[in-house]
Amino acid sequence: MKIFLSKMRRILLSLLLLTLMLSASSLDPTSCEVLSVVESIPDNLTFSNSSISNPSTTSALMQILGAAQLNLDIAEYYFDLRPDPPAEDGSDEDGKGIWEGLLVTGHRLKAAGGALRIVHNLPDKGFPDKDSKDLAEDGAAQVQYLDFKKLIGGGIIHTKLWIADQSHFYLGSANMDWQSLRQVKELGILGLNCPAVAQDLQKLFEIYWYLTTNPVPDNFPAVFDTIYNSSNPIKFQTLHPKSEMTAFLVSSPPQFCTKSRTVGIDGLLQVLNSAEKYIHIEVMDYFPAIIFKYPNKYWPIIDDALRRAVFDRGVELRLLVGLMPHNLTRPDEFNYLSSLAALDGSGSHRQVVSKVKMFIIPSYTPAQSRLTYARVNHAKFVVTEKHTYVSTSNWSGDYFTSTGGISLIMENGGEGGCGVCGVVHQVFDRDWSSEHTQPLRPWGSGSAQETQYPVF
């Protein structure tokens, strides 16, 4: 019986992939109508130094829900769109709206002969699956789980990805959590009528879906192969904004990559190692270590690349990290960051510029101050004079060795430039020079007051 079911799964998978390939044949793989930066800006947070106004994550997801005609595929860490009890201040309205949109869209796609498919981490007490389970039980979605312990010995899927009809997509830092829409600062990329990127993202989703019912193979089926990587990037045109683009997608962990795919850490290292003028980074966490396994293991790959860049090549480094109450229990992160900041002003043949700041989001109301894992800068991106890197991964070794994540790497050059790249850099400049940043200072046990973290 088990052998029969396994064969049936393979047959169904092949038929599904064939359908997807045929449906994509009429799409222009060199086009992208809209490619834009979208953000979640926490309630009440303003920037006195900037008038940047990017579309919200909520609006981006709603646009994808409305645009989906046959298939909508979602890969997420977890779902928590409808908190119980509800948010004190009503800021869960966006999350509830997204869930209701998924319910309606799922039924609409099913009636059209398509499907809403969701893959996320194996649920546990900390991250239950009520939202996705309810969608499945209502017949609106097919839901599968990735068991990383069974697949590779441990880890999680940390990807945040939506793809509709191999044409529309969201990729960024926002979890399917109501707080990620209204109480956490997030950044992502929205593509509409953008098969150039969406078709390659589809292959990464299909690998996730495949691994929900199959072990990690020595060689993935050829249908998952890509022709695009760091050696052969995607070349396409965007209409809004109008520009010539060159980009490629990278994935983690390495075990989830076909041999034709550039592995996540290799893509990031290419961005860091090719920079000649500056490296500007926003990321929530920075640890040159494997931190989710005991004992921790030193993992200096990214840290070494940054140090070589600033010391050997004279590249300016600006690193902006997020800070929220749970970080206060991890003073070792300050030690790693202060070591990197200590390079600033050093060097005998040139003066090294290596600056680190903290981005702190205030709580403006008592209700906001009582939130957990919120009021934080959760964005994950890098801009250099050559590349723009938008990711779903934080920066500890675990996110590159045993965690599911995807990053979009775009070249800044080309005729007409990379319009979306310029917007990402504007976001960094706004954040770096805003009133919400503070110089790096100690935190941890007994140091909460020193950080002046705003609480009620």
DSSP string computed for 317-347: EEEEEEE-GGGGG-HHHHHHHHHHHTTTT--
Q: Which of 158, 280, 425, 436 is catalytic?
A: 158
pLDDT at 323: 85
pLDDT higher than 80, residue 446: no
pLDDT at 416: 62
Shortest CA distance to 356 belongs to which of 286, 268, 446, 421? 286
pTM: 0.92
pLDDT at 126: 87
Instruction: State percent of the chain over pLDDT 70.
Output: 89
First-to-final CA distance of the chain: 60
pLDDT higher than 70, residue 248: yes
Q: Which helix (H) or strand (E) holds 426?
A: helix 419-432
Compute the distance between CA of residue 180 and CA of residue 360 in angstroms, rounded to an integer.
Answer: 16
Least confident segment among 14-23, 174-183, 294-303, 395-404: 14-23
Q: Which of 120, 355, 378, 380 is catalytic?
A: 378
pLDDT higher than 80, residue 454: no
* Residue 456 located in a structural domain: no
For residue 439, list its beta bridge partners.
357
| 386 carries an active-site annotation | no
pLDDT at 327: 64
pLDDT at 214: 98
Q: Between 429 and 453, where is the model more confident?
A: 429
Q: Are strands 387-391 and 176-177 parallel, antiparallel or unpaired?
A: unpaired
Q: What band does 444 get if pLDDT is binned at 50, 70 and 90?
A: low
Structure tokens at 335: 């030690």
Structure tokens at 191: 């593509």
Least confident segment among 20-29, 106-115, 126-135, 375-384: 20-29
SS3 284: coil
* Residue 346 located in a structural domain: yes
pLDDT at 125: 87
Domain range enclosing 32: 2-451
pLDDT (tens digit per residue) in 106-161? 999 999 999 999 999 999 988 989 999 999 999 999 999 999 999 999 999 999 99
Structure tokens at 396: 């500890």
| 280 carries an active-site annotation | no
Structure tokens at 106: 């799922």
pLDDT (tens digit per residue) in 296-329? 999 999 999 999 999 999 999 999 999 876 566 6
Compute the distance between CA of residue 132 and CA of residue 40 in angstroms, rounded to an integer.
Answer: 22
Q: Which of 80, 92, 94, 160 is catalytic?
A: 160
Q: Which of 92, 131, 165, 431 is catalytic?
A: 165
pLDDT (tens digit per residue) in 216-237? 999 999 999 999 999 999 999 9
pLDDT higher than 80, residue 381: yes
| 2 carries an active-site annotation | no
pLDDT higher than 70, residue 26: no
Q: Between 453 and 342, where is the model more confident?
A: 342
3-state percent breakdown (helix, strand, coil) of the chain, nearest 5: 35, 25, 40
Question: What is the residue-averaged pLDDT of the chain?
Answer: 91
For residue 75, list its beta bridge partners.
119, 161
Domain tally for the chain?
1
> Do residues 320 and 357 lie in contact, with contact meaning Cβ atoms separated by under 8 Å?
yes
* Residue 35 located in a structural domain: yes
Q: What band does 20 get if pLDDT is binned at 50, 70 and 90?
A: very low
CA distances (Å), 365 to each of 179, 327, 437, in order? Answer: 15, 21, 20
**Cα angle, residue 12 at apex, residues 9 and 16 outer, rounded to 5°:** 135
| 158 carries an active-site annotation | yes
Task: Output the domain CATH number for residue 239.
Answer: 3.30.870.10
| Mean pLDDT, residues 333-347 | 94
Compute the distance between CA of residue 390 and CA of residue 409 in angstroms, rounded to an integer.
Answer: 7
* Residue 368 located in a structural domain: yes
Q: Are strands 242-252 and 234-240 parallel, antiparallel or unpaired?
A: antiparallel
Torsion of CA 134, 136, 140, 141, to 10 degrees: 130
In total, the chain counts a number of residues equal to 456
pLDDT at 86: 97
Buried/exposed code over 366-390 (b: 16+ C-beta within 10 A; e: otherwise)? ebbbebeebbbbbbbbbbbbbbbbb
* Residue 383 located in a structural domain: yes
pLDDT at 349: 82
Question: Strands, DSSP E only, in 202-269?
Answer: 234-240, 242-252
pLDDT higher than 80, residue 13: no
CA distances (Å), 368 to each of 68, 283, 299, 339, 438, in order? Answer: 34, 22, 35, 33, 21
Other CB atoms within 10 A of residue 266 CB? 16
